């Protein structure tokens, strides 16, 4: 079945540094959805990408969907302590297939 | 506008017991999905309900069953509980199946 792999598993950055997490699949994905889960919280939907090569921005967050629709990335510019949490990519085929997530720690 | 609500928030059971978890979807949503999230892992899809029927199922044994009611609320039942069933159980709702899903706060189930 469809699987998505995420790297890195953990990332520690100094506040103000940039952060990127990558999501890869061996099969073509119909879409990619990104979710953020704060410690002790539940996943919260961030964005959905559908088109090949699509790029979307939300303030300091930039999301990309690869040309072959097999990979995606989330880049955060100038991290803040409020960015702390685990970021999951997922493929939505009716059911969400989550990657393992990248846990971001930000040192103030 | 209430979001997804789940009950109870925490539950402690012993091996072999049965448990029922409940979920009310976000207003306007008709599809409910259940996920199991072990500590430090991503959520794993259990099953999805739409129009009171199970539409998709993940790789979980028959001990896991569910139900959706006419008002779109849903229950997750787990029989013959095992220690490995200890996890956060998340309910998510959406309008149809491929739209973004809205998650509840989850039920933390501990098996002793």
pLDDT of A56 reads: 98
On whether the CB atoms of residues B79 and B18 are closer than 8 A, the answer is: yes
> A57 is in which domain, residue-wise?
5-107
Q: Do A96 and B105 touch (CB under 8 A)?
A: no
Residue A71 has pLDDT above 80, yes or no: yes
User: Which residues of chain A does B29 touch, with a Cβ-Cβ cutoff of 8 Å?
Assistant: none
Cis omega (within 30 of 0) on the bond before B9?
no
Confidence label for B1 from pLDDT (cuts 50, 70 and 90): low
Residue percentage of chain A with pLDDT more than 90: 85
When pLDDT is averaged across residues B1-12 and rounded to a whole number, the result is 91
pLDDT of A96 reads: 83
Residue A94 has pLDDT above 90, yes or no: no
pLDDT in tens, B36-73: 999 988 999 999 999 999 999 999 999 999 999 999 99
Nearest CA in chain B to A96: B45
Q: What is the mean pLDDT of chain B?
A: 94
Both tokens of residue B3? 């979001």
pLDDT of A70 reads: 95
Confidence label for A2 from pLDDT (cuts 50, 70 and 90): low
On whether the CB atoms of residues A1 and A94 are closer than 8 A, the answer is: no
CB of A42 within 8 Å of any CB in chain B? Answer: yes
Both tokens of residue B109? 């189930």
Both tokens of residue A51? 């088109």
User: Which residues of chain A does B39 touch, with a Cβ-Cβ cutoff of 8 Å?
Assistant: none
Nearest CA in chain B to A5: B42
CB of A59 within 8 Å of any CB in chain B? Answer: no
User: Which residues of chain B does A42 touch, with a Cβ-Cβ cutoff of 8 Å?
Assistant: 90, 103-106
Q: Looking at the domain B5-111, which fold is it?
A: Immunoglobulin-like (2.60.40)
Spell out the domain ranges in chain B.
5-111
For A41, residues 6+ apart whose C-beta sits below 8 A from its C-beta are: A85, B105
Nearest CA in chain A to B97: A94
Residue A97 has pLDDT above 90, yes or no: no
**Which CATH number covers residue A43?**
2.60.40.10
Nearest CA in chain A to B5: A42
Which residue, chain included where needed, has tokens 């309008």? Answer: B95
Helices and strands (H, E) in chain A, number of each type: 0, 11
Residue A65 has pLDDT above 70, yes or no: yes
Say how many domains are in chain A. 1
On whether the CB atoms of residues B5 and B90 are closer than 8 A, the answer is: no
Q: How distant is the Cα of A30 from the closest Cα of chain B, in angstroms? A: 10
Q: How distant is the Cα of A100 from the closest Cα of chain B, in angstroms? A: 5
For B30, residues 6+ apart whose C-beta sits below 8 A from its C-beta are: B50, B51, B72, B95, B96
pLDDT of A1 reads: 61
Q: Number of Cβ pairs closer than 8 Å across A and B?
A: 49
Q: Do A96 and B35 touch (CB under 8 A)?
A: yes
For A43, residues 6+ apart whose C-beta sits below 8 A from its C-beta are: A35, A36, A37, A88, B43, B90, B92, B103
pLDDT in tens, A10-38: 999 999 999 999 999 999 999 999 999 99
Q: Do A95 and B56 touch (CB under 8 A)?
A: yes
| Residue B46: burial class (beta carbons within 10 Å; 0-12, 13-18, 19+) | buried
B42: number of Cβ within 10 Å: 22
A56-82 exposure pattern, b = at least 16 Cβ within 10 A, e = fewer: eeeeebebbbbeebbbbbbebeebeee
């Amino acid at each position: 079945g469809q699987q998505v792999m995420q790297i890195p598993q953990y990332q520690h950055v100094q506040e103000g540094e940039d952060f990127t997490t990558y999501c890869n699949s061996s099969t073509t994905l119909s879409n990619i959805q990104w979710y953020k889960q704060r410690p002790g919280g539940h996943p919260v939907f961030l964005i959905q990408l559908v088109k090949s090569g699509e790029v979307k921005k939300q303030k300091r967050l930039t999301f990309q969907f690869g040309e072959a629709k097999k990979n995606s990335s989330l880049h955060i510019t100038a991290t803040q302590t409020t960015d702390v949490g685990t970021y999951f990519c997922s493929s939505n085929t009716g059911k969400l297939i989550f990657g393992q997530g990248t846990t971001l720690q930000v040192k103030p | 506008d209430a979001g997804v609500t789940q009950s109870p928030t925490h539950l402690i059971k012993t091996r072999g017991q049965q448990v029922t978890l409940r979920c009310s979807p976000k207003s306007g949503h008709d599809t409910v999905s259940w996920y199991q999230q072990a500590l430090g892992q991503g959520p794993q899809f259990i099953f999805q309900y739409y129009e009171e029927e199970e539409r998709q199922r993940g790789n979980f044994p028959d001990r896991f069953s569910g139900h959706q009611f006419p008002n779109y609320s849903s229950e997750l039942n787990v029989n013959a509980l095992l220690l490995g069933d200890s996890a956060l159980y998340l309910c998510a709702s959406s309008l149809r199946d491929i739209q973004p899903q809205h998650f509840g706060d989850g039920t933390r189930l501990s098996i002793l």
